[in-house]
Structure 1
Amino acid sequence: MNRYLPLIGRILIGLPFVMSGLGKLAAFGPTTAMISAVGLPLPPLAYVVAVALELGGGLLLIAGYQVRPVALALAVFCVATGVAFHSNFVDQNQMIHFLKNVMMAGGLLQIAAFGAGAISLDNRLSGGRVAVVTAAAAH
């Protein structure tokens, strides 16, 4: 079972990023307006960065490729977007969204620390060393 848990975890964390990135692709105007509304500079550039991180990072996370740097980048993105878009703690809904971002960052930091797991492109491309280390640690 432990062999499959990192894959399931990567899918559960990566899929919402993919969905959000796809949603942003279909909503350039509203997304850049929201970025402008919170006072961030260069909304079109911020839009491109957000789509690249969410869509690209989510897909890489699911595939298990370069998960440590990708998870770290997404964790920073989660905290930054939480602060920029969800810091009105008087509004309970915004507090919930902020905490959701913090929780996602925590899960992503776990992936950054422990890697992709046995069922991943990272493991396949490293010649299966992750699986051997994981199996040795289990005994």
Structure 2
Amino acid sequence: MTMNRYLPLIGRILIGLPFAMSGLGKLAAFGPTTAMIAAAGLPVPPLAYIVAVALELGGGLLLIAGYQVRTVALALAVFCIAAGVAFHSNFADQNQMIHFLKNVMMAGGLLQIAAFGAGALSLDNRLSKGGVAVANAAAR
């Protein structure tokens, strides 16, 4: 079915783009971002900043491209839960509860990607087909 061919790509774009944009935003705001990380009580804010930018920007772009999506989606799912607990665990504040639940929902979508893969329109699919073709040619 044609829809099944395009839905994983659309889903990867819809979940990867906000991560990439968030990573770009952090990249342009080292001071404020590390201050927020420090205010949350996390250790070594500059290191946490680097990890967050790498995961969000790098992971978002890799999801969009469809490369290594199972590993990337799993890493981002863990990141979403960790960020939700670290930054949005004041459940007495309804806004923080909403943000926490948003992180949980993103983790759920990412776990679906980790479970089912990148789909037909992805680098993962293209590279796996190329690898199979190369292996079949070498076996002849």
TM-score normalised according to structure 2 size: 0.91
In structure 1, stretches of 5+ residues that fail to align are: 130-139
- Which is greater in Rg? 2
Matched, 1:106 2:108: yes
Q: Map residues 1-139 of structure 1 onto 2, 5 A cutoff.
A: 1-127=3-129
Q: Distance in 2 between matches of 1:127 and 1:109?
A: 24
Conserved? CA contact 1:64–1:121, under 8 Å: yes
Q: Distance in 1 between matches of 2:11 and 2:108?
A: 12
**Aligned alpha-carbon RMSD (Å):** 1.1
Q: Distance in 1 between matches of 2:103 and 2:130?
A: 32
Q: How many residue pairs were aligned?
A: 129
AA at the equivalent of 2:72: V
Give the number of the structure whose residues are more often helix, by fraction. Answer: 2
Give aligned-pair identity as a percent.
91
TM-score normalised according to structure 1 size: 0.91
Report the Cα offset of residue 128 of structure 1. Answer: 7.1
Q: Distance in 2 between matches of 1:15 and 1:93?
A: 23
Q: Distance in 1 between matches of 2:120 and 2:42?
A: 40
Conserved? CA contact 1:118–1:128, under 8 Å: no
SS in 1 for 2:129: coil
SS in 2 for 1:3: helix
Report the Cα offset of residue 117 of structure 1. Answer: 0.2
AA at the equivalent of 1:76: V
Q: Distance in 1 between matches of 2:45 and 2:8?
A: 35
Query: Any runs of at least 4 consecutive aligned residues in structure 1 with deviations exceeding 4 A, and if so which?
Result: none
In structure 2, stretches of 5+ residues that fail to align are: 132-140
Q: Distance in 2 between matches of 1:25 and 1:54?
A: 10
